């Protein structure tokens, strides 16, 4: 190794996950595909962040959770485009820890979105008070999961990027794959329950008609349509990484080029998958028409309305102003806002 030139040493480091010095083209393909899929995810996340900013979709709790998911997916995608070869020592640990943290953070936000929707629709519980708890779980739990292998010294070269090494297969499955597929299964069950409850309520008549409650039911039912795909897309992008890691566990000295290629094709696509689910909401596309984009941009970039402090001038009263022209106080209905659909209740004699 000491006698090899720098270029040969670089090739060796890039091909370490195939245990070969001569077939470097496979590494070039793997690394190129990894950077491409990571870049696609970055673009998808940037698009989502731009639309969220443009349309100001960051006020309600559900919108804030989707924003947080997008941020986590963005930084997760960054990890997949880091470098062309395995960095050494601390830099490799940093990449592996970064990847584990934001993989877990994105998964945590998808789970919490599911839980929030379940509490809203099935249990009919207002969850606004849980916002801080959601953030604590989504950013705190991943920190624990990413720190454990770091403290044990189990991070290192692990295929096309740095992660838990081949010598600690049990940790790979305990830290990521077993919790991942368990949570995906639970989310699928949760969405099945949500859909059943939503369908039952939409087809049933429960007591006195309440327009606000019925409007909220319809709104939540519409919200389910795109969100229910989150577990499915996470399952799809996780199948080939699981198969490849199982192959690595049974044949650590004989990595498969085809499985590794499928791994790097799918694993970095979390950000793009989130953008795909994001795009399933037809309301977004109606707002992103050319006219809608123009109006939104004008609102964002050209609205220079300033609200200043009101300074009242001196008020001079005349005798006519002091005359009480109002009727008896009992006839005052105190209507502040009016709409054609509004009816005032009879207050009695």
> Of 160-169, 182-191, 211-220, where does mean pLDDT reach its minimum?
211-220
Confidence of residue 342 (pLDDT cuts 50, 70, 90): very low
- Average pLDDT along the chain: 76
Confidence of residue 336 (pLDDT cuts 50, 70, 90): very low
64 vs 14: which has the higher pLDDT: 64
pLDDT at 176 over 90: yes
Q: What pLDDT does residue 323 have?
A: 47
pLDDT at 52 over 80: yes
Distance CA 69, CA 84 (A): 27
Q: Which pLDDT tens digit goes with each residue over 97-126?
A: 999 999 999 999 999 999 998 998 888 888
Report, as an integer, the average pLDDT of 298-319.
57
Q: What pLDDT does residue 17 have?
A: 59
281 vs 339: which has the higher pLDDT: 281
Distance CA 101, CA 105 (A): 6
pLDDT at 145 over 70: yes
Q: Is residue 147 part of a domain?
A: yes
Q: Is residue 306 part of a domain?
A: no
Q: Is residue 279 part of a domain?
A: yes
> Of 115-129, 170-184, 187-201, 211-225, where does mean pLDDT reach its minimum?
211-225
Share of residues in the chain with pLDDT > 70 (%): 69
> Of 246-250, 270-274, 322-326, where does mean pLDDT reach its minimum?
322-326
Q: What pLDDT does residue 315 have?
A: 47
35 vs 9: which has the higher pLDDT: 35
Find tokens 């950013």 and name the residue.
Answer: 139
Alpha helices per DSSP H over the chain: 6-14, 24-54, 61-80, 89-121, 131-152, 169-172, 178-203, 211-227, 230-250, 257-266, 270-279, 282-287, 290-301
pLDDT at 137 over 50: yes
Length of the chain: 349
Q: Are 67 and 21 in contact (CB under 8 A)?
A: no
Q: Is residue 74 part of a domain?
A: yes
Confidence of residue 210 (pLDDT cuts 50, 70, 90): low
Confidence of residue 84 (pLDDT cuts 50, 70, 90): low
Q: What pLDDT does residue 91 have?
A: 84
**What's the domain count of the chain?**
1
Report, as an integer, the average pLDDT of 249-269.
86
Distance CA 270, CA 281 (A): 18
Q: Is residue 337 part of a domain?
A: no
Q: What pLDDT does residue 312 have?
A: 52
Q: Is residue 8 part of a domain?
A: no
300 vs 221: which has the higher pLDDT: 300
77 vs 87: which has the higher pLDDT: 77
Q: Is residue 155 part of a domain?
A: yes
User: CB under 8 Å to 171, separation ≥6 — which residues?
Assistant: 149, 152, 154, 164
Q: What pLDDT does residue 7 have?
A: 40
pLDDT at 257 over 90: no
Report, as an integer, the average pLDDT of 192-208.
73
Name the nearest CA neighbour of 269 among 113, 42, 111: 42
Confidence of residue 72 (pLDDT cuts 50, 70, 90): very high
Q: Is residue 335 part of a domain?
A: no
Q: Could you tell me which residues are beta bridge partners of residue 155? A: 164
Q: What pLDDT does residue 248 have?
A: 84
Q: What pLDDT does residue 329 have?
A: 45
Tokens read off for 132: 């801080």
Report, as an integer, the average pLDDT of 266-281.
82
205 vs 300: which has the higher pLDDT: 300
Tell me, what CATH number does 243's domain have? 1.20.1070.10
Report, as an integer, the average pLDDT of 281-307.
71
Q: What pLDDT does residue 59 have?
A: 85
Note down the domain range covering 143. 21-300
Q: Are 221 and 202 in contact (CB under 8 A)?
A: yes
């Amino acid at each position: 190794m000491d006698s090899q030139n720098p270029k040969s040493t670089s090739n060796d480091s890039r091909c370490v996950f195939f245990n070969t010095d001569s077939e470097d083209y496979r590494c070039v393909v793997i690394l190129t595909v990894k950077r491409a899929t990571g870049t696609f995810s970055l673009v998808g996340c940037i698009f989502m962040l731009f639309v969220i900013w443009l349309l100001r979709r960051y006020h309600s709790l559900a919108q804030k959770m989707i924003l947080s998911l997008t941020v986590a997916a963005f930084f997760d995608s960054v990890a997949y485009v880091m470098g062309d070869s395995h960095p050494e020592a601390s830099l490799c640990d940093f990449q592996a820890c970064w990847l584990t943290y934001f993989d877990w953070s994105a998964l945590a936000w998808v789970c919490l979105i599911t839980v929030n929707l379940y509490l809203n629709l099935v249990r009919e519980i207002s969850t606004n008070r849980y916002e801080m708890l959601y953030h604590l779980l989504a950013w705190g739990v991943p920190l624990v999961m990413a720190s454990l292998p770091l403290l044990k010294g189990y991070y290192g070269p692990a295929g096309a990027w740095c992660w838990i090494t081949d010598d600690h297969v049990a940790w790979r499955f305990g830290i990521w794959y077993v919790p991942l597929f368990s949570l995906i299964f639970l989310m699928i069950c949760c969405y099945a329950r949500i859909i059943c409850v939503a369908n039952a309520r939409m087809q049933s008549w429960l007591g006195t008609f309440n327009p606000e409650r019925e409007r909220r039911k319809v709104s939540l039912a519409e919200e389910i349509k795109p969100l229910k795909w989150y577990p499915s897309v996470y399952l799809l992008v996780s199948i080939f990484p699981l198969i490849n890691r199982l192959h690595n566990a049974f044949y650590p000295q004989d990595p498969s080029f085809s499985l590794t290629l499928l791994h790097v094709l799918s694993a970095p696509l979390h950000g793009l998958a989130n953008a795909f689910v994001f795009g399933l909401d037809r309301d977004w596309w109606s707002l992103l028409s050319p006219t809608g984009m123009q109006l939104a941009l004008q609102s964002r970039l050209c609205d220079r309305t300033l609200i200043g402090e009101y300074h009242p001038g001196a008020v001079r009263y005349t005798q006519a102003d002091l005359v009480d022209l109002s009727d008896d106080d009992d006839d005052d209905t105190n209507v502040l806002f009016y709409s054609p659909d509004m009816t005032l209740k009879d207050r009695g004699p």
